[in-house]
Amino acid sequence: MYPRLVSLLFYMFFTCVILNPQVNGITLYFYLVIPFLDPDFSRFLASTARRWAGPLLIAVIASALTSPSSAVRILSIGICIGYLMYTTERRIGYLHTWMVINILFATVQFAMYYINRDFSIQLGPTNLSTLIWGDYATMTNTNFYEVFYFTRVSGFSREAGFFSSLLVASLILHLFSDSPNKKLIALYLFGLFISFSKSSMVLFLFAALYPFRDRLRQVHPLVVMIAYYVVVSAISVYLAHNDFFGSDTFAHRLAGYAFMFDARLEDIVKGITAQDMMAHYKYLPYIRLIQDDMSLGALFGGLPGTIAELGIFSALVVFAVIAFTASDGFVMMIFLFISATVSVTTVTSFIPLAYLICYWPRFVEYSAQRVKSAHHYQPLPGYCKT
């Protein structure tokens, strides 16, 4: 019972990000501490350390050389992945329970937008986070506005786009389960409808790649990562020449790839902050297009954001760790799609879930061996079912 209570608390703060406070611009994620309230989790980490300690240590050291804060975030992601695996193996996870709660609350926000718009805004993340934490409220954006004639809402996430990404990652994980529930899938799809954003496109990309999953599984994850970077770079350069057609959303997600061709060599090697970016590269039209995000300290989304933050050499080490620990090319591609809007070192909930998807096939195989030898829990579903 006690491990289930700890798990319930973890997934509450994990999926309801606005419940976590922010101090001096840094969000204090309670779900990084809660797992250690369960002694069995520490024993799980100790018993599996030889499988994850080496790659995690390499990534942490490489990032610490140029960005200590990134090293802390990578370690934090490792904690999240470990606890997600622990609760999944023991079948005490409450991810989908709390996602249902999020979707139901988002439905209220959606309905109230058309009944009483002001009250709907009051139910938004900015007001709720301020109500709970006051001056220590985490950064949010109540971006309730209409897309294709329907508003989009955020549930208990910090904004609609993050909520959409969380829904996509959670749904894909559910589809990997041994017995996907059709009603739950329908509820997830409804949640994606009322939180529609460009992040929702990941689900369509997943569906498009699904028929080719067997072929992609034969491709090494590193090859998939390189091919993805090359293709997206070509698209980004084309869009940059057209100033991203005035879209700051596309610029935030893709401009980093074009910037790698415009940046000075020393900035690529050493890394660059958002403040320095604004000081030295504001002459670039696409930098001016996303200057509001950069004024808040945000760099580019996707892989270039990590390069800009860590510098090329540390970033390449981190990318290599991800590529050589990923299970296969198919899940590597899903990971790249989900993480396209933020850095791969972001701690917010949908990124740890993206890593879990990336490691799922190997985790299932390894977990089945552990369960068989321990005779404690029911084995996880075979990867062939996906």
Tell me, yes or no, whether 22 and 169 share the same domain. Answer: yes
Low-confidence ranges of the chain (pLDDT < 50): 383-386
Same domain? 65 vs 193:
yes
Instruction: Report the pLDDT value the prediction gives residue 243, as an integer from 0 to 100.
Output: 84
pLDDT digit string (tens) for 167-226? 999 999 999 887 889 999 999 999 999 988 877 888 888 889 889 999 999 999 999 999
Q: Which of 359, 365, 290 is nearest to 84 (CA)?
A: 359
Q: Are residues 124 and 227 in the same domain?
A: no
Among 319, 349, 373, the domain-final residue is 319
End residue of a domain, out of 297, 319, 341: 319
Per-residue model confidence (pLDDT) at position 384: 45
| Residue 347 counted as domain residue | no
Do residues 187 and 225 share a domain? no
| Same domain? 54 vs 161 | yes
**Same structural domain, 5 and 130:** yes
Cα–Cα nearest to 199, from 223, 172, 218? 172
Is 204 part of a structural domain of the chain? no
Ramachandran bin of 297, using left for φ above 0, alpha for ψ from -120 to 50, beta for the remaining angles? left
Choose the final residue of a domain: 319, 348, 377. 319
pLDDT value of position 380:
58
Query: Is residue 207 a part of any domain in this protein?
Result: no
**Partners of 151 in the β-ladder:** 146
Based on the fold, state whether residues 128 and 162 are members of the same structural domain: yes
- The amino acid sitting at 184 is L
Residues 76, 82, 86: CA angle, nearest 5 degrees: 145
**Domain-located, residue 338:** no
Based on the domain organization, do 257 and 313 belong to the same domain?
A: yes
In a domain, 158, yes or no: yes
Helices (H), the chain: 2-15, 39-64, 68-90, 95-115, 117-122, 125-133, 160-175, 182-194, 201-209, 213-217, 221-241, 248-262, 265-270, 274-280, 285-289, 291-295, 303-310, 312-325, 329-338, 350-374
Domain assignment of residue 283, given as a range: 221-319
Inside any domain, residue 212: no
Same domain, 183 and 272: no
Tell me, what's the pLDDT at 253?
84
Does 203 fall in a domain? no
What local confidence, expressed as pLDDT, does residue 161 receive? 87
In a domain, 214, yes or no: no
Structural domain tally of the chain? Answer: 2
Identify whether residues 283 and 372 lie together within a single domain.
Answer: no
CA distance 190 to 177: 20
Same domain, 28 and 123: yes
What pLDDT is stored for residue 379 in this prediction?
Answer: 55
Q: Are both 168 and 33 inside the same structural domain?
A: yes
